[in-house]
Structure 1
Amino acid sequence: MQALERVMDSGWVVLGPEVKAFEAEFAQSLGAPHAVGVNSGTDALVIALKALGVDRESEVITVANTAVPTVSAIRMCGAKPVFVDIEASTLLMDVSKVEALITERTRCIIPVHLHGLSVDMDPLLAIAQGHQIPIIEDCAQSQGAEYKGKATGTMGSMGCFSFYPTKNMGAFGDGGLITCQSETHAEAMQQLRMYGFKGDGYAHREGINSRLDEIQAAMLRIKLTHFAESFSTRRKLAEEFHERIQNPQLRLPLEPEGRMHAYHLFVIHCEQREELIKHLQSHHIGFGIHYAVPIHRMKAYEFLDYLPGSLPNTELAADSILSLPFYPLMPEQDKEQLFQVLNSFR
């Protein structure tokens, strides 16, 4: 209530003192030089791309095994998404295949830290730096994740975060934020989120309306103070899942050496997924699939002309992954039932 009273007393509705304070506190929590609050994770990607000058003449390398907003943001800038396959083991961008896709039109690479695990960033950064191509990290699912001691969102030119309510730190509505290394980029994105205005009421560039509101920022400031505790709880729950699920037919998520998984989702592999789904349903246990249809196979993106089998690991994952019920306040009886049902699957 105190946070709401602060907002009401301030007279600010959007981009006021709560937003400025949240931007500073979030940046400090990650070790990022700058942070720019926006209306959503999707807008964060659009604004970051526009700040880099991505347009209809550009190509952007990313993965098809991601949420649609990663790719729709590229298309909103008029650019062409170029898909690289994923590693079968981590479900993340196969960095070894990136360089072969770089052309004179490549303006950006977007690694997606999917499900809460960081992409292998060192070799990707080396490739990007060698070709002078900026990296935008898609951190919508990876707040709290680390790569060799560095927070996701602090290694590329920019990092894009989502505070949709289902995220590890969700708002009470929509919200997003961009971290960046460059003050020039930060200033550009501050203009882009506000019609391109520079403070004088004139549009200095073509911008959009993507303002983080004061109430969401105030709520997120409170949640940020509790994030370390909730993140630790999530990690302990994942450890329990790893210890208690003992079924050779199920492959559990990896945490490669040097990486800290944020466990936004707990995603397993099962070659007999349809049978596993029936098994779970027979015991009234829910599940999810993130994602059942890779983007290059969606009707909206047929124009990109990717043939079946062109991204084999991506397509294999879409047919075998399954997200388990997983949340920090999961009741003990629900966990016990889940472990028992999973371990009894044959």
Structure 2
Amino acid sequence: MDFHIPYLDIKALQRRFSQRDSEALQELQDLGIYIGGEPVTRFEMDYAQYCGTQFCIGTGNGLDALTIILRAEKQLGRLPENARILVPAHTYIATFLSITEAGMHPIPVDVHHLLITKDVVEKHLENVDAIVAVDIYGKLVDDEVYAFAKANHKPIYTDAAQSHGAKTSNGDRSGSRGMASAFSFYPTKNLGALGDAGAITTNDEELAVMARRMANYGRTSRFVNDMKGVNSRLDPLQASFLNNRLLFLDNDNKKRKKIAQVYMEQIENPKVKLPPADFLESNSIHVFPIFLEERDQFVAYLEDRGIQTNRHYAIPPHQQLAFKEFNDMSFPQTEYLHDSEVSLPCHPLLEDHEVQEIVIAINEYS
């Protein structure tokens, strides 16, 4: 079906960088270095500086980034074999997969509103070895969760795959708040490549060195491998594409937040539940979610009016067959969110009149 307001016009968003990307490809051909090299080093330095961390390690994708963090921590002796990792049930399945890929056990917990909170973590703290916080929809997990974990000597890591560029009220940037953070640069992200790409950010030099080694076959030199690693490196062409887009990330996020502000202020329909009142704070607005019981009927109504929506996500990880060991568990808030969520168009190329058309359509739904 053709929509005159698509959920995300990814081609138009990426087309803004066509000239710069063509120059990046020519630069790579001129350099003749196709793995690693200056483009990767440049992006890693620039993204570390942007996030406010000392180190950035490029990876093949976001799943690998989080898996490598956990495997590196185990290799350093900071996490035990078969570690139990607290993780919000309300997340994309990749968060769970990273834990199992590292040979560890996810310990799912329900969320309060959208995210894990200190109270949620406190209830489960004695039963876990570490915590993975997830910045779902781009909304940063509250500072007090990190402070509580630190005070109780529990390592905390961040799945920051949706929160590129978000800041806390005191100016701390996404990627700088836990022991290490994992980013995905999937093309639809606020900072998206033209294919798979990911990164780890951290201020811990020992972890950074181990993660980089782990991502490159576990080797210490060309012919010496002193551990079992993986092949997960950031492609230099994707690194160049990402640097082209990094320059525009803050401005794009401001546009997203402006649209989200309109939604928060102007959507008035008793059948539609908006995100919590503080949703716009410390948020990159990767997704603008609304919630309603008759989701399928509502989505079909908007489609009839030429407005495309999305879902994040239809089935939570604990209800997937891939994790059938969790299928009998119940997380009421998570299940409500997954059953009722609708993602509205909210991207930098959305015109003011299109935003108003979306608002009017929602307010006229009955």
Question: Secondary structure in 1 aligned to 2:221?
Answer: coil
Given that 2:85 and 2:105 are in contact with CA atoms closer than 8 Å, whether structure 1 keeps it comes out as yes
The match for 1:115 is 137
Q: 2:198 aligns with which of 153, 162, 176?
A: 176
Given that 2:164 and 2:284 are in contact with CA atoms closer than 8 Å, whether structure 1 keeps it comes out as yes
In 1, Cα distance between equivalents of 2:31 and 2:130:
40
The match for 1:277 is 299
Given that 1:287 and 1:324 are in contact with CA atoms closer than 8 Å, whether structure 2 keeps it comes out as yes
- The reply on whether 1:145 has 2:170 as its aligned counterpart is no
Write the letter of the residue equivalent to 1:189: A
Alpha-carbon offset, residue 207 of structure 1: 0.7
The match for 2:334 is 314
Given that 1:280 and 1:286 are in contact with CA atoms closer than 8 Å, whether structure 2 keeps it comes out as yes
Task: Specify whether residues 42 and 196 from structure 1 end up closer, same or farther in structure 2 by C-alpha distance, changes over 3 A only.
Answer: same
The match for 1:100 is 123
In 2, Cα distance between equivalents of 1:322 and 1:288:
6
Task: Specify whether residues 181 and 258 from structure 1 end up closer, same or farther in structure 2 by C-alpha distance, changes over 3 A only.
Answer: farther
Q: 1:218 aligns with which of 240, 249, 254?
A: 240
Aligned residues with identical type, % of pairs:
33
In 2, Cα distance between equivalents of 1:131 and 1:251:
36
**Unpaired stretches in structure 2, ≥5 consecutive residues:** 1-21
Detail structure 1 runs of 4+ shifted over 4 Å in the superposition.
none
Q: 1:12 aligns with which of 17, 21, 33?
A: 33
The match for 1:287 is 309
Q: 1:72 aligns with which of 77, 97, 102?
A: 97
Given that 2:57 and 2:211 are in contact with CA atoms closer than 8 Å, whether structure 1 keeps it comes out as yes
The match for 1:249 is 271
Deviations 1:83-103 (A, max 9, x none): 111112xx1113312122234
Given that 1:111 and 1:137 are in contact with CA atoms closer than 8 Å, whether structure 2 keeps it comes out as yes
Alpha-carbon offset, residue 288 of structure 1: 1.5
Question: Secondary structure in 1 aligned to 2:238?
Answer: helix
**Unpaired stretches in structure 1, ≥5 consecutive residues:** none
The match for 2:82 is 57
Q: How many residues get paired?
A: 340
Q: What is the correspondence of 1:189-200 to structure 2 with a 5 Å cutoff?
A: 189-200=211-222
For normalisation by structure 2, the TM-score amounts to 0.87
In 2, Cα distance between equivalents of 1:186 and 1:14:
19
Q: 2:111 aligns with which of 80, 86, 94?
A: 86
Alpha-carbon offset, residue 242 of structure 1: 2.5
The match for 2:3 is none
Given that 1:50 and 1:77 are in contact with CA atoms closer than 8 Å, whether structure 2 keeps it comes out as yes
Task: Specify whether residues 8 and 115 from structure 1 end up closer, same or farther in structure 2 by C-alpha distance, changes over 3 A only.
Answer: same
Question: Secondary structure in 2 aligned to 1:198?
Answer: strand
Q: What is the correspondence of 1:256-267 to structure 2 with a 5 Å cutoff?
A: 256=278, 259-267=281-289
Moved more, 253-262 or 124-133: 253-262
Given that 1:255 and 1:261 are in contact with CA atoms closer than 8 Å, whether structure 2 keeps it comes out as no
Given that 2:68 and 2:102 are in contact with CA atoms closer than 8 Å, whether structure 1 keeps it comes out as no
CA RMSD, Structure 1 to Structure 2 (Å)? 1.9
Question: Secondary structure in 1 aligned to 2:286?
Answer: coil
In 1, Cα distance between equivalents of 2:213 and 2:341:
40
Given that 1:56 and 1:80 are in contact with CA atoms closer than 8 Å, whether structure 2 keeps it comes out as no
Write the letter of the residue equivalent to 2:278: P
